[in-house]
Amino acid sequence: MPDDFYKMTYNPDVLSCLANLSSDEVFTPPAIVNQILDMLPSDLWKDKNAKFLDPACKSGVFLREIAKRLLTGLEDQIPDLPQRIDHIYQNQLYGIAITELTSLLSRRSVYCSKYPNGKYSVSSFDNPSGNIRFKKIKHRWVKSRCAFCGASKTQYDRDDSLETHAYELIHTTKTEDIFKMKFDVIIGNPPYQLSDGGQKASATPLYHLFVQQAKKLNPRFLAMIIPARWYSGGRGLDGFRSEMLNDESLRYLIDYTDSNDCFPGVDIAGGICYFLWDRDHKGNCKITNIYNGKSFVSIRKLNEHNMFIRYSQALPIIAKVRKTDKTFYDTLVSSQKPFGLRTYAKPTEKGDISLRYSGGTGKYMRSGISSGIEWIDKWKVIMSYLTYDHAGRPDKDGRRRIFSTMEILPPKTVCTETYLVIDCFDDKTYADNLFGYLRTNFVRFLVAQLTSTQHLSKANFAFVPVQNFSKPWTDEDLYAKYGLTDEEIAFIESMIRPMESTSGESDGD
């Protein structure tokens, strides 16, 4: 029996390989792989002509689990086990490894030998790669960056003894020439990002390039597991977000708010998701959000808003807000560098105004301000552009705080790009009331719907309505104004952690 075959012969030595892998290469647990495979139609496992490609092999687990299913599904058509094994491995399973090391690991997982032309391979090939290829690719440098993936030349222009991390699928304009065949299913877990040489471990996303290149091969089905950061776009992902939200071929989307629920011990800001793209499907997407130990299912269009709303329970709340109000804070919140000052700007020995920076407050010269000049002499509500929550994850009770440092700056005070300016007023009372409004569960819930990374920008405030700040606002006032039901209020309060009460001008980290 196929199950007995794997139990008796599959015993790869993987532990010696794992320590050599990049931190951007996240292994997929077999249980998750099988959940992804369960999205595919069951008749595929009985189709001896179906071809499967993993374009980002790391451990070979996708191809291994596919092989198991085919070994069972084709038993009636090809009763002889050795013949069935040869047919599946040599005619149906294909892979592209992302490094030389993972090519060996993948072949060991799939063929039970890192050299499939050797005597220990369960299917004998006439070459040492089998159908899991690895080709050392060079980046194509245009000035200081790779034209295909954006890699930094200073970091990845290496000699032949080191991995280039120039992944074959996304470093070609002719993807169809790699294997010169059509695939029914393209499936895998691509590398997520690549260090780009910027400050603070800055990295360029890669996963969307694998999705886009795979679509060019026009498979019947495409399934990949990728970070959920694309929901809100940013950092080269705006076009991909729009493409995904408007693609009616997306049939299933499984969304994990906390990446640990999918990859134990792995923190991925904004969570993780996997999807099934079905070439012949045109219509709504079945979305399953896994949050705080529970699953919530909805069937809807992905493009109801410019950014994907992962919680279906939030949609009627957003609809009530947008029906009642027409002006929102994404039109008022500052862009980055509200006063033209970088994070490293520091106080000067002399100055006619004050500067709020990451280390405190000091003197600064008004003449050094290049933007936001009209705000200098007003009362300003500011907040850190970094969220409070680690990797965008909820706390142990499943709730998030969202905002970290919030302050009211008096006239003649400016700030660096560490902060966003939310709004400005001539009257301190209005600033106090906005400060209190931002602390409500209601406002932070609306911002959370558009926050899938640790960074805030004006776009995250697109659902936050502008109020009359001649008076203070409480959650009770807001729930009443928008006619929220008890169930909707309970959902908001199940997601958002109250902020400690304060009437001061600073709410620190």
Specify the higher pLDDT residue, 423 or 304: 423
Plot region of 412 (φ>0 → left; ψ -120 to 50 → alpha; else → beta): left
pTM assigned to the model? 0.86
234-242 contacts: CB < 8 A, separation 24 or more? 234/453, 234/455, 234/457, 234/459, 235/204, 235/205, 236/150, 236/204, 236/205, 236/208, 237/205, 237/208, 240/208, 240/211, 240/212, 241/307, 241/308
What residue type is 496 in one-letter code?
I
| Residue 325 sits in the same domain as residue 370 | yes
Per-residue pLDDT tens digits for 429-444: 999 999 999 999 999 9
Q: Is there a single domain that holds both residue 283 and residue 322?
A: no
Q: Is residue 390 in a domain?
A: yes
Last residue of a domain, which of 289, 308, 327?
A: 308
Cα gap 439→402, rounded to integer Å: 10
Sort strands 250-256 and 285-291 into parallel, antiparallel or unpaired: parallel
Q: What's the CA gap between 393 and 372, in Å, rounded?
A: 33
Q: Is the same domain home to 107 and 222?
A: yes
The number of residues in the chain equals 509
Q: For the chain, give the mean pLDDT.
A: 89
Among residues 277, 308, 339, the one where a domain terminates is 308
**Amino acid 260: pLDDT:** 85
Whether 370 and 494 map to the same domain: the answer is yes
Is 153 domain-assigned? no
Strands 272-278 and 285-291: unpaired
Per-residue confidence (pLDDT) for residue 294, from 0 to 100: 84
Q: Regarding predicted confidence, which is higher, 169 or 1?
A: 169
* CATH assignment of the domain containing 179: 3.40.50.150
Same domain, 32 and 180: yes
Whether residue 160 is contained in a domain is answered as: no
* pLDDT classification of 508: cutoffs 50, 70, 90: very low
Whether the Cβ atoms of residue 273 and residue 229 lie closer than 8 Å to each other: no
Same domain membership, residue 324 and residue 303: no
Residue where a domain stops, chosen among 290, 308, 326: 308
Domains contained in the chain, number:
2
By 3-state DSSP, what share of the chain in percent is helix, strand and coil, each rounded to 5? 30, 20, 50
Q: What average pLDDT does this structure show over 390-415?
A: 84
Question: Based on C-alpha coordinates, what's the Rg of the chain?
Answer: 26
280 domain residue, yes or no: yes
pLDDT band at 261 (very low <50, low <70, confident <90, very high): confident
Across the range 266-290, mean pLDDT stands at 93
pLDDT at 17 over 50: no
Tell me: do 451 and 482 sit in the same domain: yes
Confidence of residue 3 (pLDDT cuts 50, 70, 90): low
Per-residue pLDDT band at 168 (split at 50, 70, 90): very high
Is 116 or 266 the better-scoring residue by pLDDT? 116
Stretch among 266-270, 310-314, 412-416 having the lowest mean pLDDT: 266-270
Please tell me whether residues 298 and 347 are part of one structural domain: no
Is residue 382, in this structure, part of any structural domain at all?
yes
In a domain, 495, yes or no: yes
Answer whether residue 329 is part of any domain: yes
Structural domain range at position 256: 2-140+166-308
Among 227, 229, 316, smallest CA distance to 24 is for: 227
The band of 267, judged by pLDDT with boundaries at 50, 70 and 90, is: confident
Confidence of residue 246 (pLDDT cuts 50, 70, 90): very high
- 352-382 confidence digits (pLDDT tens): 999 999 889 999 999 999 999 999 999 999 9
Query: Are 266 and 398 members of one domain?
Result: no
The angle formed by the CA atoms of residues 114, 119 and 122, to the nearest 5 degrees, is 70
Judge whether 304 lies within some domain: yes
- Residue 199 has a pLDDT of 52
Same domain, 378 and 498: yes
Of 322, 272, 328, 338, residue with least CA distance to 459:
328
pLDDT at 23 over 50: no
Is the pLDDT at 21 greater than 60, yes or no? no
Average pLDDT over residues 16-34: 65
Residues 321 and 304 in one domain: no
Region 162-177: mean pLDDT is 91
Percentage, residues of the chain above pLDDT 90: 73
Contact between 95 and 208 under an 8 Å Cβ cutoff? The reply is no
Supply the pLDDT for residue 27.
83
CB 251 within 8 A of CB 281: yes
pLDDT at 505: 44
Q: What pLDDT digit, counting tens, does each position of 117-152 carry?
A: 999 999 999 999 999 999 999 999 999 999 999 999
Nearest-10 crossing angle of helices 30-37, 61-73: 50
Res 182 pLDDT > 70: yes
Look at 57 and 263; give whichever has higher pLDDT: 57
Least confident of 66-70, 155-159, 160-164: 160-164
What integer pLDDT is reported at residue 170 of this predicted model?
A: 95
Average pLDDT (52-66) is: 96
Let me know whether 93 and 186 are in one domain.
yes
